Structure 1
Amino acid sequence: MLALYLPVAAIILGISVLQVANGILVTVLPIALTEAGYSIQAFSAVATAHSLSFLLGCVLSTRIIGAVGHIRAFAAYAAATSVTALSFTIAPDPALWMALRLITGFCSAGLFTVAESWLNEMTPNAHRGRVFSVYTIVQKVALVGGQFVLLFTGGPVVLGLFMIASAFYSMSLIPVAMNRATTPSIAAIRTLPLRQLYRIAPAAVIGCVSSGLINSAVASIGPIWGLQTGLSVGLAGAIPAMAQVGNLLAQWPLGRLSDRIDRRQVMLASSVVTILVSLTLGLLRPESDWLLAVLFGLWGAASISTYGICVAHANDFAPRGTAVALSSSLLLCWGVGACMGPLIASAVMGSIGPDGLFLYGAAIATVTAIFTAWRMTRRPARPAEEREPFVNRPATSPIASELAARREAGE
């Protein structure tokens, strides 16, 4: 039994170490560029570069991995991200950082694709649920740990933080390279045409795009909003982490609730909570640090959790044999939203000030809520006994969809 699970544990450990580095960069980059005197529009272009290349990596990585193998691909991606993290220390220049984020985004998608395809192959069917749950939670906890870096250190941004991120990218290779398990085959991802995808689950498509639009903007620009509204560097940098903690605590309870009622009701309620919290943050600007932490936790619980419930809703209506392609297509929808979110939000903030970030989020969530409520009048929910139990599919790579689908079959 130990020999069976050691390779799985090695992959989970490797991706968790990787997530610490990702969390550090997500937190440090916006703070560093702002401290260097650049505008929020400049950083939004940097954030969009990462999302765009991540989207391309999701589409193309399976071909690269299939050509060179899992270990070689993981080693190349890890080495590239490690060198790139160090390269951020050359100068706080938006053009340079855009190029560097293009590399990290593509490589991150490749690293997740390698890890999740390996997990998909090595995990015994009888234990897929447990392994998939552990993987989802552990990698999210690691991400949060990296995002809290400035709160732990008290700020400000120093070059050593980029070196630490580089070290974690390098260390992620160790457990994977030491893995003696047979590398699996990997096929190109399967997707559905947009028209067919929309016919299957319109609310899920709009919900995934809107989730990308809102969450990418707050995750990337939230720390800048914090600095512009007078928060300390440490607290501003912790904004994405506080939201992720809320998501970590709420995702499974909301998912289980959606197993019992119309999932669109949960999606609608999440949108309403996102609207209320966003308006509170954008218009009232609470001064209490603890109240801010609670509000960002609520925001993450509602807004970030929406993606997983949208995918579950779509899979309730997926024709036989299309569940994996459907989930992969919804990930790409989320990625398209993530590419546009920082650019739109920064334009709004440039026009009306820092409050524009959360007023933008409230506006997107309002449109989503109205559309979801309208869809509830157009088609009844799938009966609870005909649905698959909720599975939290992370927005990491298309392979997660296949791993989750096989997890359902295994249980």
Structure 2
Amino acid sequence: MHPLASAFALLVALPAVAPAAQAPITGERPSAAKPFKAAEVASFDSPWALAFLPDGRMLVTEKTGRMLLLSADGRQRTAVTGVPEVNASGQGALGEVVAHPDFAANGQVYFSYSAPGSPNAIVLARGRLVGGADGARLDDVTTLYRAHPDRSGGHYAGRIAFSPDGHLFFSMGERQKFTPAQEPDGVLGKIVRLTMDGRPAPGNPLAAKSFDPAIWSYGHRNPLGLAFDGKGRLWDAEMGPKGGDEVNLILPGRNYGWPLVSNGDHYDGKPIPDHPTRPDLEAPRVSWNPSISPSSLLVYSGGLFPKWRGKALVGALSGKALILVALGDDGAREEARYDMGQRIRAVDQGPDGAVYVLEDGKGGRLLKLSPAS
């Protein structure tokens, strides 16, 4: 068995004791000196996500529904055809894109998007990438999973992570409707564990308790970052209400509290009970007030930044920052905040260990971060 798969099996069997949470981070935080230099690779029209292929090429999605294949140096780009129609109004977008762990053999790409319709849903799909600089397309596009029930609103989420033991995790927001995050028979405001073909994975922790059989965890608001660390633990970065943005350690079958508790308040100022009032619910490992608007999460595993290894990098929209979070055995904490001057939509790691970030909005740049010296 792969050592990470063994670690994952231990995670599933963890007792009901979670690592300690850092006290909520309040007030403005100072920016740290940057240990990196940033070089522009390319620019886009409201980019949303990026993924690296084994040969160093990149896939980038744009909010409006376009997927682009970039050369390893970013100088050549090709529009990928075969992408389904996307509802890009409001918070809708062509969202996450990730390569299958065995992409070199099967050419498969997984992606999420907000589907047309009223009401609509976030959809998980898969296609086979064929072609290259002279023309690229997705063949055999298949819908693997559709969030249910269909609801109007924002908070699609739609992040994808592959576990060490060969499962697929998919995050879904509660569509700005609050209570669906606590409803057992739907998957809004949930993280689900699926087979690679999009079916509920056998052995999910709540399947025998009258919950939807795909649910892994619930009580989430808008989980926009999802990643495994080197110990096989799953983490998310989640947008809270007014304040109360979170990084969570995602444990099987746990309830993360939304909308019952939050370390933030409603946008109209109405208070929400804080997490300590409900110790039976999972508290965040890190929370922020004022908001940073986390958009993405990467657990760094490369060699170019040895002091970042095993730690999380969180992209921040309203915070206009890249935030380094240490992931310890007994909790997590913000370690450094790097001012990027622009809203950060996505963060990923290149094959050479460089970190790549996507700026948000029209003309959003793809930046390569490499050591400053």
| TM-score in same-fold range (> 0.5) | no
Higher RCO (CA-CA < 8 Å; seq separation 6+): 1
CA radius of gyration, larger in? 1
Using the size of structure 2 for normalisation, the TM-score is 0.28
Higher strand share: 2
